[in-house]
Amino acid sequence: MNSDINNEDSGPTHQRRARYKGSYPNHFHEKYKELNPELYPDAIEKVMSKGNTPAGMHLSICVNEILAILNPQPGEVGLDATLGFGGHTQALLPRVRPHGRMIGIDVDPIELERTERRLRALGFGEAEWQSQQLNFAGIPKLLQAMDSGFDFVLADFGISSMQLDNPERGFTFKRPGPLDLRLNPHQGQPASALIQNLSADKLEQMLRDYSDEPYARILAQAICQNKQAITTTSDLTRVIKGALKHTPADVNRSIRRSFQALRIAVNDEFLVLDQFLRNLPFCLNPNGRVALLSFHSGEDKRVKQALDAGLKAGIYSEISPEPIRPSSQERYANPRSKSALLRWAIRSDSQ
């Protein structure tokens, strides 16, 4: 028998799972149980019982608070403007049944595809839930195919755990990987390329404006002096540690702030957020509700200013007087929730 035909008829080759040293996998792609939560629920529960987030998953923040604020009702139409892992959408969708629906958008094509498969597997069909790859600044485009606006809108401005955990995305200094930081890895330039084109003065200003970095001048000079050698997360971490070794700085905090500033710059996050906040009230139906989750002062300041201005102009009938923070129990169970600030608003019925 012809060997080529025999091989073709034998079916696909079995793929062995990743092998790792020791009793617990340390690298992202070795954590096959955490990356397949539907198949290994016991392993997921064990990781979460220790206060950790399983690799490839994201624990949605302030779910109960958001449900109370948005108060979704049967037949209503909602928008999750930052779909991510889909945890908030998964909690909201049953509340709009029957006859209601939700739309989920996300700029990240990698995680959007995974989340769509996961939510479809949970039984959410096309009639009640659709997804689309779209930056949340572009939500007016969604209205072109709708009869009216949204009854409620949720936006979670944080980076998802899936993005942080995957070293290939370059979002964290804790794991070696390319210095990328793009929410959409197919668009724009990675952080490593951005650094090559920045002067020390511009980089210093960026570190101050986007992350309130107290050692911005020292870091900007060190990074620019070594820019040709910075292509990975490890390269940038090494340069920052070297620049701050003779200062009283909390080095890890400065590293986090530097990564945050670069991420904001690479993705034009403040520009996108400002556009979203300007568009938001005009995408809401009268008495429509909105919940907005921020994770650092730059985001929360913009959200507060936009809601205050909307209240003063009569666009919103009511806004949150103060930000809502996760409960102590949630902060303990999910340490990544500690910096979250939740604000809300209600669209006026007279605008």
Residues 329-340 pLDDT 10s: 988 888 888 899
Please give, one letter per residue, the 3-state secondary structure of 114-135: HHHHHHHHCCCCCCCEEEEECC
Residue 21: pLDDT band with limits 50, 70, 90: low
Closest CA to 347 of 319, 321, 316, 318: 316
% of residues, the chain, pLDDT over 90: 66
Third-level CATH fold of 185-266: DNA polymerase; domain 1 (1.10.150)
What's the rounded Cα separation, in Å, for the pair 63 and 302?
Answer: 22
Per residue in 100-116, pLDDT (tens digit) is 999 999 999 988 998 89
Whole-angstrom CA distances from 39 to 33, 35, 86 are: 7, 9, 19
Q: Any bridge partners for residue 343, and if so which?
A: 292
Q: What share of the chain is helix, strand, coil (3-state, %, to 5)?
A: 45, 15, 40
Q: What would the pLDDT profile of 258-273 be if each residue is shown by its tens digit? A: 999 999 999 999 999 9
For the ranges 235-244, 292-301, 326-335, which has the lowest average pLDDT? 326-335
Indicate the pairing of strand 150-156 with strand 77-80. parallel
pLDDT over threshold 50, residue 38 = yes
Band of the pLDDT at 123, cuts 50, 70, 90?
Answer: very high
**Residue-level pLDDT at 148:** 87
Q: Taking the domains of the chain in order of start, what are their residue ranges?
A: 63-162+270-347, 185-266
Q: For the domain with range 63-162+270-347, which CATH number is right: 3.90.1150.10, 3.40.50.150, 3.10.580.10, 3.40.50.2000? A: 3.40.50.150
Taking only the tens place, the pLDDT of each residue in 63-88 is 999 999 999 999 999 999 999 888 99
